[in-house]
Chains A and B, each alone.
Chain A
């Protein structure tokens, strides 16, 4: 595809987005990573939409990676964040590692799991918020559509972390929802350091479902203190990334 065609395509996408309704002045949130931004429609994660994050790998019921991934996205948005949860295992100092300042986060702790979805929706109706993060086990197609509509109406981004305790609950995650994107994060072995110690974490980030884009998988380095992901250095040296490096250097 030549650049002219690309521009026209982007123009058409913008027009379609306008017909679909929703807030006009929302540009997607870029990951500042060419590999991801070029793949996602509009060049980033859509604001005012529902996004779903699933953890894979060992100890996936604790959703350690997904929490950091989500916190990284929330940190890069501007404004306060509402975090709806019903378990007390979240460790706030860990969120700061992705650049999410404790002053920005309001927590709403539900007693029962089913009370969380109404809380998320309540948050999505509030224009002043940057994002609503919800830790949810069960989310039906109808419930997710409600959230998606609420998010579209106000432009607040909904980030859903899927949690589970039992295997039966884990299977629920595969049921369809109305989320615009669905991500699966799994930790992978990080780069071997020349000295004993640990480097930056590395994730396998899978885009399982996305409206207007193909599923795809990336190996990425975890969020830094500003919530940004990065391409691993040894993978960035590959030939298909050369254009990216040239652009970054210029």
Chain B
């Protein structure tokens, strides 16, 4: 627990979870706290250090979005507009963020909402999670008015009037409210409900390479944006060349005339400082930017860099192998900018015979594994996952079926090969204990299927369709 001095009183500034369980809370007088818990461990608060570590945390959070700002004493703004898809969805981003913070030993609450004020209120006084778009008012209305970021004296004045919830305050006539409590209460209310805009000033670490361009006249045409972007990219790449670094992650921030901002983020598969290529990665997503009344300033930030040695420009016809690989890097970047880096991958063989486990994903630019699957009987080109049940009849137990019915169609088997027994891999934690007997069957029409029985016939094995050959 830490304490600080407010006027002549010594007041609790922060308390750990264990301390809060004993009934201590922030804002309590130290004497009262010590009376409650006799052997209390009290540390003098150092606001500067708190703020510094919060800033440190904010820098770490730049991994999630380019627009991150510290919100002292204990908050962090992260503008995730336009970056959530990199994590799959907003829910996944939130889960990832909180689990990482928890692993670092930081108790964190997080919420996603349309407006910063709403997220602030929901994270602190509501159920954490994602507030769906357009439902901000419903989510905030039931919360305590402490979630509005208004000063303590106004808070107590409102309490005296019997106003406890944001919804009650919102229902009050606006003019008397402003006259009695001042403009800031109304503003905070609007910010929480998402009616008033609230800018987040991004925190940019000092040593980050960046290039910016402010315009005397706001611009808005797509062609202009593209040309400015190319110029900024060239500028940035010159800086990076001097430092011997290449970009792994690039953020583009737009400052609009009406103080709103927008950001785009792209990643590259390996360090790169080819200005034209980097500018091109934004091409597709620039169209989605709404310039509104015009854009005043554009900032290009290399938020993640890696050392990149000086390389000699490739001569055509020489060292074609290398050139080919470099080109793949650019292709992977472009594909990744469209669908996300995780969706561009290669499949590496896994030494396993269980069909579902025969391949694992590796990054598209990982060095060649050089390995292949162990030599087996032919494998299908398409797999049905999960397998579908099939009604099959065999003439003799443990013989291939004579015919089978799959998706209500009867197939007569002309030729078959098998069984090939594939046993579960108990050393990989395989729960199912049954070995599968796979048969390759060819129907009278020539179609080939991969079907299996999950137990010998005597033990009541059932048939499943699992794959398709040519």
A67 and B382 contact, Cβ closer than 8 Å, known pairs A102-B348, A102-B369: yes
Q: Specify which chain B residues have a CB less than 8 angstroms from the CB of A118 in the assembled complex.
A: 338
Q: Are B324 and A187 in contact (CB under 8 A)?
A: no
Q: Are B470 and A201 in contact (CB under 8 A)?
A: yes
> Which of B370, B382, B385 interacts with A64 by CB under 8 Å?
B382
Complex interface residues of chain A between 80 and 139 (CB less than 8 A to chain B) = 80, 82, 88-97, 101-103, 105-111, 115, 118-119, 122-123, 126-129
Q: Are B385 and A88 in contact (CB under 8 A)?
A: yes
Q: Are A103 and B443 in contact (CB under 8 A)?
A: no
Q: Are A68 and B373 in contact (CB under 8 A)?
A: no
- Shortest Cβ distance from residue A154 to the other chain B in the assembled complex, whole angstroms: 11
Q: Are B468 and A59 in contact (CB under 8 A)?
A: yes
Q: Specify which chain A residues have a CB less than 8 angstroms from the CB of B347 in the assembled complex.
A: 92, 102, 105, 107
Chain B interface size, under 10 / 10 to 19 / 20 to 34 / 35 or more: 35 or more
Q: Are B470 and A91 in contact (CB under 8 A)?
A: no
| CA A115 to CA B85, docked complex, whole Å | 15
- Shortest Cβ distance from residue A117 to the other chain B in the assembled complex, whole angstroms: 11
Q: Are B470 and A64 in contact (CB under 8 A)?
A: yes
A-B Cβ contacts below 8 A, count: 180
A102 and B447 contact, Cβ closer than 8 Å, known pairs A82-B331, A122-B335: no
Q: Are B379 and A97 in contact (CB under 8 A)?
A: yes
- Shortest Cβ distance from residue B357 to the other chain A in the assembled complex, whole angstroms: 11
Q: Specify which chain B residues have a CB less than 8 angstroms from the CB of A187 in the assembled complex.
A: 445-448, 470
A106 and B359 contact, Cβ closer than 8 Å, known pairs A64-B448, A89-B385: no
Chain B contacts to A: CB under 8 angstroms: 323-324, 327-328, 330-332, 334-335, 338-339, 343-349, 355, 358-359, 364, 368-370, 372-373, 376, 378-385, 409, 411, 414-417, 440, 442-449, 467-470
A58 and B445 contact, Cβ closer than 8 Å, known pairs A64-B468, A105-B346: yes
Chain A interface size, under 10 / 10 to 19 / 20 to 34 / 35 or more: 35 or more
Q: Are A196 and B415 in contact (CB under 8 A)?
A: yes
Q: Is the interface of A mostly helix, strand, loop or mixed?
A: mixed
**Most chain A CB atoms below 10 A, which of B347, B370, B376, B444:** B347
Q: Are A89 and B384 in contact (CB under 8 A)?
A: yes
| CA A95 to CA B335, docked complex, whole Å | 23
Q: Are B382 and A119 in contact (CB under 8 A)?
A: no
| CA A63 to CA B470, docked complex, whole Å | 8
Nearest B-chain residue to A65, judged by Cβ: B470
- Shortest Cβ distance from residue A36 to the other chain B in the assembled complex, whole angstroms: 17
| CA A94 to CA B444, docked complex, whole Å | 23
Q: Does A190 contact B (CB under 8 A)?
A: yes
- Cross-chain pairs A/B with CB under 8 angstroms, 27 sampled: A57-B445, A59-B468, A62-B384, A68-B470, A71-B381, A80-B328, A90-B382, A91-B381, A91-B382, A93-B349, A94-B378, A96-B379, A102-B349, A106-B328, A106-B346, A109-B344, A115-B338, A122-B335, A126-B330, A128-B324, A128-B331, A187-B448, A188-B446, A189-B446, A190-B415, A197-B417, A201-B470
